[in-house]
Chains A and B, each alone.
Chain A
Amino acid sequence: MTVTGGAELVRLERVTCRYGSEPVLINVDLTVSTGEFVGVVGPSGSGKTTLLRTIMGALPPLVGRVARRSGVSVAYVPQTETVNWNFPVTVGECVLMARGGRRLPWPSREEKADVSRTLERLGIGNLEKRHIRQLSGGQQQRVFIARALLQRPQLLLMDEPTAGVDVKTRHEVLHLLHDLNADGLAIVLTTHDLNGVAAHLPQLVCLNREVIAAGKPGEVLTPAVLEQTYGAPMDVLEHAGMPLVVDRYESSNVVDVTPRLRRGGQAANS
C-alpha cells in the first residue's frame, strides 16, 4: 500500500507464507508507517491473522522479505475470545507480564507508576486489583491494550478487537484506538465488521491470501473489490458520507420483503 507520510516501521515485500503445503499469503506488499491506522478485511481463512504474525516477525516468510526499522517495538493484542478468563491473574499482573527488561517478579517503582498512568489513561485506573473475569467486555479489551502499551510500542497489532462485543463497547474501543493513533501510535487491526469498524478507519487493506486492494475506505469498499475479496456479491450504498456495505442477497430482497411483510401482516390481522 502507499506510504502516507511518516517513517516506515515495517515493510513486507512480495511475501509468501505457507502452513504446510497450503499458501496462506501470496505475494503481499505492505508498508506500515508512523502514525498510520490500517484495517485488514477479508473472509475467514484469508490470511488476516497470518499477516499480523508476519508483521510481528513471528512467522518467517517462505518467499519475500519482511523489513522492520531497527529498534521498532511492535505489540500484539489477541482476540479476547481466545483469552483464558479463568486464569488466576489480576489486571495489574496481566498488564505487566509482557513487559520485558526486568528479571525480578515484582514491579519497579517506575513500572508501578507506568501501570497506574496507563490504566488511568484507558479509564480502568481503579481496577488494578480485580480479577480479569470481573470486568465488562470493554474493560477486558482495555486491559489487553494496556498490556500492549506497557511494551512501549510504536506499532500496535490487534486481532479482531471488536469480535463478539456489543455496539457500545465497539464504539468505546474505536474511540480509544483513534485517540492512541492521534498520539502517534501506528495501528494495524483485522476485522470482519465492514460497516461498524472498517468504514471508520483511515486506511484499509482487502485481503484474500493476496492483497486485492488497499486505500481509503471510500476507494476500496466497492462492489468489484468486495466481490473479489469475499467471493460473494455485495452492494455499497452511501450513508452520511460513508460507504455502507450491504449483502446483495439482502438488497435484492428488499423489494420482495416489503410486500411479503405486508401480506404477512394482513394475514395476521385476518
Chain B
Amino acid sequence: MSELLRPFEFEFFVNGVIVATLAGALCGLIGVYVVLKGMSYIGHGLSHAIFGGFAASALLGVNFFLGAGAWGFAAAMMINGVTRRRAIGSDAAIGVITTASFAIGVALIKRYGSGGKNPDSLLFGQILGVSDADVWLLAAVALAAALVVFFLYRPLLFSTFDPEVADVSGVATGRVDALLTLVLAASILATMTVLGVTLVAATLVIPAVVARMLTDSFGRMLSLATVTGALCGFVGMNLSYHLDIPSGPMIVLTGSALFALVFVATGRRGLRRAGHLAHLG
C-alpha cells in the first residue's frame, strides 16, 4: 500500500495526477457531444491544427494560449462552415484544413524555431512538467465547459440529437454549435500540453464510447463519460509512475484497456449501442 502512495509524496506527481484527472473528465464530458455528432475525428484534427497556431504565435510573439486558441477556434469554425454547407463531407474538410494547419506549424518551427517552447512536449505531452499556468488554464476551461453543458443542457441535447428540428423550433443551433466548438477548441488547447497533440483524440473518444456501451440514457452517458475520463487520467498517471512509461500513452492505454473490458462485458448489447458511433457526420 505504501508503495502505491509513495509517488504522492512528490508535489510534481500530485500536480500531474490532478491535471490528468481533470483533463480526462473534461475530455470525457465534451467527447460525448463530439462522438454523438459523428465528429470523432475532429479532436484528432483540431489538436493538429492548433499545433500550427502554436508555431504562428511563437513566431509572432503573441501569447501561446490566445494565439493557438484563436487559431484552433478559427479552424473549427471553418470545418463547421464547410460541413454545414455540405460542400464536402466533414471528414474531408477536417482532413484538408487540419493537416494543412499542422504542416504550416512544422514548416514555421523548422524555419523560424519555436520561441522557447518545446515542440516535442506539445506533440507527445509533458504531464510532469506542467506549469501553474497550464493547471489554471485547464481548471478554468473545465469549469467553463461544465457550466456550458449544465446551463445549455436542453438546447445542446436537442441540437445534437435533432439539429433540423431544433433549428425550426427556435433553438439558435448556429450559436449553440459555435459555443460547443469554442469549448472543444479550448479543451483541446488546455489538454494538449498535458497529453500531447497525438493523444488528445483518444481521450475525447474512448470515455464517450465506453459510456455509450453502458447506457441508453443521454444524462447517464454524460456522467459516465466524465467519470470514465477522470478514472483513466487518475489510473493512467499512477501506472505511468509505477511502470515507468510516459503519462500520455499510459492514460490512453488505460482507456483502451477499459474499452476492451467493457466491450467484452456488455457483449452484443454494447455493440448494438456503440455500433453506430463510428460514422462521420
Contact = CB atoms under 8 A, between A and B. Distances in A.
Interface of A: 53, 56-58, 75-76, 78, 82-84, 86-90, 93-94, 96-100, 102-105, 131, 133, 151
B153 A78 contact: no
Contacts of A56: 168-169
Given A88-B273, A90-B217, A99 B168 contact: no
A76 B160 CA distance: 17
Contacts, number: 72
A83 B217 contact: no
B169 A87 contact: no
13 contacts: A56-B168, A58-B167, A78-B162, A84-B161, A87-B160, A87-B161, A88-B215, A96-B154, A97-B157, A97-B158, A104-B150, A104-B151, A105-B219
A105 B161 contact: no
Contact of B162 (A83, A86, A100, A104): A83
B221 A105 contact: no
Interface string B160-189: 111011111110000000000000000000
A75 B167 CA distance: 12
Nearest to B165: A78
Contact of A75 (B166, B169, B212, B219): B169
A82 B169 contact: no
A-B pairs, 10 with minimum CB distance: A105-B153, A131-B216, A58-B168, A86-B276, A97-B158, A56-B168, A97-B157, A89-B218, A78-B165, A88-B221
A56 B166 CA distance: 12
Contacts of B153: 104-105
A178 B129 CA distance: 68
A87 B167 CA distance: 18
Nearest to A77: B165
Contacts of B275: 86
B84 to A, nearest CB: 15
Nearest to A78: B165
- Indicate the member of B150, B167, B216, B276 with the most A CB atoms within 10 Å: B216
A98 B158 contact: yes
Given A89-B216, A97-B158, 8 more contacts: A56-B169, A87-B160, A93-B218, A99-B154, A104-B150, A104-B153, A105-B150, A133-B216
A82 B164 contact: yes
